[in-house]
Amino acid sequence: MVDYIIIGAGSAGCVLANRLSADTQTTVLLLEAGGPDSRREIHIPAAFSKLFKTPLDWAYETEEQPALDNRKLFWPRGKMLGGSSSMNAMIYIRGNPRDYDRWAELGNEGWSFADVLPYFKRAENQQHGASSLHGAGGPLDVCDLRTVNPLSQAFVDACVESGIARNDDFNSVRQEGAGLYQVTQRQGQRHSAAAAYLRPALKRPNLGVHSNAQATRILFEGRRTVGVQYRQNGTNAEARARREVILCVGAVNSPQLLLLSGIGAAEQLKRFSLEVVMDLPGVGLNLQDHVATGVLYECRQPITLAGAQSPRHLLDYIVFKRGPLTSNVAEAGAFVRSQPSLAGPDLQFHFAPVYFANNGFDVPPGHGFTFGPSLLHPESRGQIALRSPDPLAPPSIQPNYFKCEGDLHVLLEGLKLSRRLAQAKAFEPYRGTEVRPGAAVQAEAALIAFVRQSAQTLYHPVGTCKMGSDPLAVVDAKLRVHGLEGLRVVDASIMPNVVSGNTNAPTIMLAEKASEMIRQ
């Protein structure tokens, strides 16, 4: 028996494993369904998409999306130590301060931006040093890209030329503008949550880590959480917790495990002959995700990441940890308003100095670059639900992309802005033919059709165990599951609303905050 069982060694689970086991009087068991993070492509930044649809990826698929030509979308999620922080694009974005103030306004005391900033700073080892908004000396390295492609600089210049202000720090007082992204890397290699938090703690005798161990059910005695059943390497096992069981398996797996354990809408549980431990109708609801499209152009100079794996660049990476293999692919970006009247940005751009379409699986020949506008504040809401009472079966993922028509039209504005940026003077030395959607696609109806055909996830699902006190809330402001003792959820699923940007840094922050609440 241990004090704490943490389920999931992703971004949040690695933070909690480190912070809770720092107390030598506390025993911690960390369960991870995937394996170690030893594969080479994990640590070479530019290689992350090569991990998609491998054994290190849950490789989920959504239900058919009626507003996206009935397509089923691929949803990669990390299945290894570090979770999705071991296969993401390493972008360090906190979101807009207003995001957290809205969380607090919804009744979640202690979650305003002023409240969460200390936990962002605690996590951060900022290359440029400490300041009122940044931390230094934390576990997670945050740095500038070592090698910036000329096309990424051209994107920033094109934005400035088009009236978008330059922004050298998206995590400062002003999010709006265009600039180069900072990344979670150390010396040219990925700095995942496993590298930053878990690896330094592995030698502690009070921390046990079981990989290839998938939790199948949470155990209760009445309303008290007492342990976990899991399956490891084909064998069923059980672990018991004196204090708490903490779910850190993300916006897909956390609601699935709660449902399998009898926590959720009673009607859904009875449909699968599952005993109802707690009728919480909000489990799995409120699913939100950033959806993106891509505008692709041919590059007339052979300077893109298409040549990143040449022998010369590979040697540069192996010896000096520099060159295009240190790229996070989405090197530059921008936060903009689709309409001037808006209070803040509702579009985020990821610019890639290479063709990037269909999650990297569609690779047009030759050299190219990609504008990737994404929707920051989706109105559409989806659901995670059970397909089967089999804990090893994938759940049903229904994001309901563009169920609210306004979401599509915001993304359409992002597509149009991409085209205007591509025509800026900064791109004249590089710009060739528009590959997608193509110069012939001009009419509004044709552009909308292209968005429906091309839109895909930006890999930021949240919200399915949302924090709050309303009837559909799953956890309270201390992330304790309503109505139960000794059970918390600590991951992106607790976000009431998706943040304005990439979700890895916010997930690490909320785990830092949760570790303090748990210790108290």
pLDDT digits (tens, 9 = 90+) for 244-254: 999 999 999 99
- 476-493 pLDDT tens trace: 999 999 999 999 999 999
pLDDT at 291: 98
pLDDT at 423: 98
Q: How confident is the model at residue 316 (pLDDT cuts 50, 70, 90)?
A: confident
Mean pLDDT, rounded, of the chain? 97
Q: Is the pLDDT of residue 124 over 90?
A: yes
Is 460 a known active-site residue? yes
Amino acid at 66: P
Name the DSSP letter for residue 482.
T
Q: Which residue has the higher pLDDT, 331 or 317?
A: 331
Q: Which residue has the higher pLDDT, 520 or 36?
A: 36
Task: Name the one residue in this structure whose structure tokens are 């999931």.
Answer: 8
Q: How confident is the model at residue 315 (pLDDT cuts 50, 70, 90)?
A: confident
Name the DSSP letter for residue 85.
G
Q: For residues 50 and 183, what is the distance between their CA atoms, to the nearest angstrom? A: 19
pLDDT at 309: 80
Chain length of the chain: 520
pLDDT at 385: 98
Q: For residues 314 and 202, what is the distance between their CA atoms, to the nearest angstrom? A: 31
Q: Is the pLDDT of residue 374 over 90?
A: yes
Ordered domains of the chain (ranges, CATH): 146-180+291-375+402-454 (3.30.410.40)
pLDDT at 77: 98
The kind and range of the H/E element at 479 are none
Q: How confident is the model at residue 356 (pLDDT cuts 50, 70, 90)?
A: very high
Q: Is the pLDDT of residue 210 over 90?
A: yes
Q: For residues 39 and 205, what is the distance between their CA atoms, to the nearest angstrom? A: 26
Q: Is the pTM of this model over 0.85?
A: yes
pLDDT at 373: 98
Tokens encoding 139: 């576990």
| Residue tagged active-site, from 43, 191, 377, 460 | 460
Task: Name the one residue in this structure whose structure tokens are 């009087």.
Answer: 25
pLDDT at 314: 79
